């Protein structure tokens, strides 16, 4: 299923930020902190998100623990993001036991519907390009720092595997005699296309503050 999600983050501490996630499938909050950052170092940030998925027959709480890793030397960066998620998932599949079937949404049916809570492990990988705009140099304790802001474009893929599932609810909608006996799943992938605006407080930032010599 395709999805659209908007993320609004704001810096809270020197290396941390809070964010609101609003999408067509979930509403959530997220908190992330950079544990490694520097002009010549990879950027590593750890995050936790928690929210609710009220749509598409999910109707349950959702959570995620994640790490965001970005190579140094923007404007081009490689991105990696291992994550562990726990939340409801819903599936609607045509019934192969019938000669005729219809897609979900057609009350005539028949189709198999399944809802369960899944623990997933995913590993996102992608590339990002950032167009930076430098800020004026600021001086702190005799050391000059230059910060950046600008736009980031992202393209990636997110494969996942289901480690465990529970609370399975199965139903054959529009069936007169058929029933859902078993669901075989456990892995999948999604493609991510994104655009965002970054500022000096973003964690991780594609352009961390760099030292500048003050004459």
Question: Does 215 map to a domain?
Answer: no
CB 5 within 8 A of CB 19: no
* Dist CA 27 CA 144 (whole Å): 40
pLDDT of residue 127: 94
In 3D, which of 201, 205, 145 has the Cα closest to residue 14? Answer: 201
* Dist CA 185 CA 125 (whole Å): 22
Question: Does 37 map to a domain?
Answer: yes
Distance of CA 102 to the CA centre of its chain: 31
3-state DSSP assignment of residue 214: coil
Question: Does 159 map to a domain?
Answer: yes
Residue 203 CB-density burial (10 A; 0-12 exposed, 13-18 middle, 19+ buried): buried
97-104, long-range: CB within 8 Å, 24+ apart, which pairs?
97/178, 98/175, 98/178, 102/174, 104/173
Question: Does 46 map to a domain?
Answer: yes
Question: Does 111 map to a domain?
Answer: yes
Digit-coded pLDDT (tens) for 111-139: 677 788 899 999 999 999 888 777 666 66
If one counts the domains in the chain, the total is 1
* Dist CA 179 CA 188 (whole Å): 25
Confidence tier at 43 by pLDDT (50, 70, 90)? confident
B/e letters for 4-15, b = 16+ CB within 10 Å, e = fewer, are eeeeebeeeeeb
**pLDDT over 70 at 39, yes or no:** no
Element (H, E) at 129: strand 111-134
pLDDT of residue 187: 87
pLDDT of residue 203: 61
* Dist CA 154 CA 74 (whole Å): 13
Digit-coded pLDDT (tens) for 163-212: 988 877 766 666 655 555 666 668 889 999 988 877 766 666 666 666 66
CB 32 within 8 A of CB 16: yes
Question: Which range of residues forms the domain containing residue 52?
Answer: 5-210
Question: Does 104 map to a domain?
Answer: yes
* Dist CA 18 CA 20 (whole Å): 7
Question: Does 164 map to a domain?
Answer: yes
Question: Does 158 map to a domain?
Answer: yes
Tokens of 122: 């995913």
């Amino acid at each position: 299923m395709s999805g659209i999600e908007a993320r609004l983050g704001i810096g809270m501490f020197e290396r941390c930020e809070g964010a609101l996630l609003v999408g067509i499938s979930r509403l959530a909050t997220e908190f992330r902190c950079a544990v490694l950052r520097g002009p010549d170092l990879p950027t590593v940030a750890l995050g936790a998100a928690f929210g609710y998925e009220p749509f598409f027959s999910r109707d349950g709480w959702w959570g995620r623990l994640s790490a965001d890793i970005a190579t140094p030397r923007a404007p081009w960066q490689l991105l990696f993001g291992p994550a562990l998620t726990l939340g409801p998932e819903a599936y609607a599949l045509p019934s192969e036991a019938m000669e005729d079937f219809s897609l979900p949404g057609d009350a005539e049916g028949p189709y198999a519907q399944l809802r369960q809570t899944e623990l997933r492990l995913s590993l996102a990988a992608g590339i990002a390009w950032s167009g930076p705009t430098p800020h004026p140099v600021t001086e702190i304790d005799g050391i000059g720092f230059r910060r950046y802001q600008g736009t980031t474009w992202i393209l990636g893929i997110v494969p996942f595997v289901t480690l465990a599932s529970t609370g399975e609810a199965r139903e054959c909608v529009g069936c007169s005699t058929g029933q859902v006996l078993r669901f075989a799943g456990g892995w999948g992938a999604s493609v991510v296309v994104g655009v965002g605006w970054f500022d000096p407080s973003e964690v991780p930032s594609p352009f961390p503050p760099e030292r500048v010599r003050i004459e």
